[in-house]
Structure 1
Amino acid sequence: MGRKESILLYSIEINSLSKSYGDFIAVDGIDLKVEKGKIFGFLGPNGAGKTTTMKMLTTLIPPSGGKMNILGIDGIKSPLEIRKKIGVVLQQPSYEPTLSVEKSLEKYGMMWNVEKKIRKNRVEELLISFDLADIRKKKNDDLSIGQRRRVQVAREFMHDMELLFLDEPTVGLDPSARRGLLDFIKGKVKDGLTIFFTTHILEEAEYLCDDIAIINKGKIIAVDTPADLKNKFGREKTIKIHVSEQKDMSSLLSGIPDCTVEHDSGTVLTVRSSQSEQVLQEILKILASNHVPVEDLSVVPTSLEEIFLSVVKNSNA
């Protein structure tokens, strides 16, 4: 009974999954569960094991050890069954140089045996959704890098799938196209699709993902929602204060506990603290007693990017 419930709840379950190349361990016995109908962010620095993990999950390479269950299917015993139910957009460019944009979409639908009427409707929907309608007759070879990337991602939605793997899908896209793609993905998840998503743009992960795992040196070092990662690792806040006089702020504030002055230009003061409210009150008292007028101030929460860098740095220590 427990196993049946687990299959219904999770699109991906991996236990002690590993991959070695000789003496080099690329992925070191990781455990993960990805809920159905969620967007799961998989983050890590270059060489951390992200792409290797994705290649195992998409059955492109076999693991060296461990177990993986994809959509209720044993990923080691039945890789072909899994491939029928998933979509994959890898980081490497992939396009048909001589085909037009609309013909590329059409061909991909045919490859997946999508019936003609549905195929035609999907081509039109995707041309609009990915802002490709104006270049539908252009050959892929004549497109910009960003346009090719949009075609590469769009064509994956020509077929039905339960789970989609996206490896750096917004590479080469301008901010407008990037936001359009992320919003399109959000809409598909509302229809029940599960997405496994890698990116180096932490704002994307924060905007898009329900849960996030951080991997470094082949090991998972943190798994949680973006909000809980912030609560767990992002207690520090940044205080920025603009004053109207040139002063040695570092010396003035040296006695305040839990107060790290990161930048002091004389008129701009940047402080980090996990006790931001108390520290700010102390700073304002000191500035007032020294007759230093404050022009502007702000307290900024720690960003997901700062947390990512901190978690990775601590795992390397």
Structure 2
Amino acid sequence: MSLIKRFAAACLLAGVAVGSVAQPYPSKPIRLVVGFAPGGATDILARVWADAASRELGQTVVVENRAGAGGAVGALAVAKAPADGYTLGLATVGTHAANVACNPKGGYDPVQDFTPISNLARTPNVLVMNVDVPASNFAELKAYIAKQPPGGVRYATGGTCGVHHLTGAMFSSLIGAQLTHVPYRGSGPALTDLIGGQLELFFDSMPGSIQAIQSKRARPVAVAWNKRLDSLPDVPTYAELGLGAINDSVWYGLVAPANLPADIQAKLNQVTRKVMAQPDVQARVAQTGSEPVSTTPQEFGAEIKKALERLKAVVQSQGIKFDTSGS
């Protein structure tokens, strides 16, 4: 073989080798792990982002529900996945603050084991009750609870040690009542049982309960937000009811396993900022009762740390212990 032909062949082989290694990201479908059952607030927002991001990335983003332990099962799956950008997670105040504050031996560190990408939405919390409960507002609900035996009124949440569990525990303490916590594998199944009459109360994020509220299958009692919601103008905030200690909204954000390459982190953040600014995405997020946002990875990382420290203090003050029942 002549020198020219050997050189051409070497260049061709080098091109094939380089092409096989340096494929542009993403070159295959991406998995977005949600640590809760389908139908709940986290799942809804994950699918809104996944649909829009799929169009921008040119690859399908597949939502995978890995429910259990208040979102810890899904979070742990993300933490242990390869840091290649093909496994992402939907982080919440529950998975990355409340869960770990309540159970520090849960198997993952919300700061060290993840790469923050961006916040996606801030969402009001809401307390809803079964429509057969003989109360139409907070004062009447409080009076009803006072007439029941200790633990006779049950409240559902999307999981043990989740943010709504901590909210429910503080709510019980603030009104001076003993309520029974009933944890579920996500807010979807909990809402189903609330509507079916198996429970009296449900602490949730607005996206998971908004349709039930609008269709009058569940009755809202209070919301956690900085003002009354335009969609629920007659429903007071917790702060208005003298329960300012639980008037905190929640957030949802995008994370990846620790040590994600900086260029992939930057691309996912850029895509997130773009899709969260799109009118159709903003409309879909707003329909769930949430407020679309996007942040830098550094800002989102700082928010995770702040929520973790705040909820560690709540767990300590309420004496909450980790319990796997129902999770």
Coarse TM-score class (shorter-chain normalised): under 0.3
Structure with greater helix percent:
2
Structure holding more strand per residue: 1
TM value normalised by structure 1: 0.22
Q: Rg: which structure is higher?
A: 1
TM-score normalised by the chain length of structure 2? 0.22
Q: Which has the higher contact order (CA 8 A, sep 6+)?
A: 2
